[in-house]
Amino acid sequence: MAKTHVTMTVNGQSAEELVEPRTLLVHFLRETLGLTGTHIGCETSHCGACTVDFNGESVKSCTMFAVQAEGAQVLTIEGMANPDGTLHALQEGFREMHGLQCGFCTPGMIVRAYRLLQEIPNPTDDEIRMGISGNLCRCTGYQNIVAAIQFAAARLNTPAQQEQAA
């Protein structure tokens, strides 16, 4: 089958490739671009391990074709750390609050939480639980993930951090 030209911006960098139309976005990210931080879990749109940020929304990259991302802005876990190499507040939060055990769901959790905190900068625990309801974790029981996201929300909402980020 003929390949299709696709151009998108991934973590701020332009990516231009020829892909088979049937190539899933997650396979494109992992295999074509070598960005293996985005994980493949259930492959059935349930678990959220493959979550990436797509044009300002969280999506499951196992349920999209790369060709559908033509012209899109994509953010993966590889794009989360600050430009100076320090961890994003969410990464810091997951480390400090023990928001992971095996770590398999973590990239999807963090990328999803990133968008959630854009939508709701001061979420309640319930809002976090609903916000990450498309991401499954089989280790933690979620309690520490909620705590990790609250840690990041608090950090991102302190004026000092905002100045630093600006």
Partner 1 sequence: MIPAAFAYHRPTSVSAAIALLADLGEDARPLAGGHSLIPMMKLRLAVPQALIDLAGIAELRGIRRDADAVVIGATTTMADLIASDELASIIPIIRETALVIADPQVRARGTIGGNVANGDPGNDMPALMQCLGASYLIAGSAGSREVAARAFYQGTYLTSLRPGEVVTGVRIPLPPAGHGWAYEKLKRKVGDYATAAAGVVMAMQNGRVAQIAIGLTNVGDTPLFAEAAGTILTGSSLDATTVDRAVAAAEAITAPASDGRGPAEYRTKMAGVMLRRALARAASPAAAR
List residues near partner 1 by CB under 8 A.
1-2, 4, 20-22, 24, 27, 43-46, 48, 51, 54, 57-60, 63-65, 67-68, 70, 112, 116, 130-131, 133-134
- Give me the least distance between CB of 21 and partner 1, in Å please: 4
| C-beta closer to partner 1: residue 2 or 160 | 2
Instruction: Report the residue number, 4 or 92, with the smaller CB distance to partner 1.
Output: 4
C-beta closer to partner 1: residue 10 or 59 = 59
> For residue 16, what are its two tokens?
């231009």
- Closest separation in Å from C-beta 45 to partner 1: 6
What minimum distance in Å lies between the beta carbon of 158 and partner 1? Answer: 26
* 113 in Cβ contact with 132 (< 8 Å): yes
Of residues 64 and 75, the one with the C-beta less far from partner 1? 64
Q: How far is the CB of 126 from partner 1 (least distance, A)?
A: 13
H/E run at residue 106: helix 106-119
Determine the Cα–Cα distance for residues 17 and 7; give it in Å rounded to an integer.
Answer: 7
**What backbone torsions phi and psi does residue 61 show, to the nearest 5 degrees?**
-75, -5
**What residues contact residue 32 under an 8 Å CB cut-off, 6+ apart?**
15, 17, 19, 23, 66
Task: Find the helix packing angle between 89-96 and 106-119, rounded to 10°.
Answer: 120
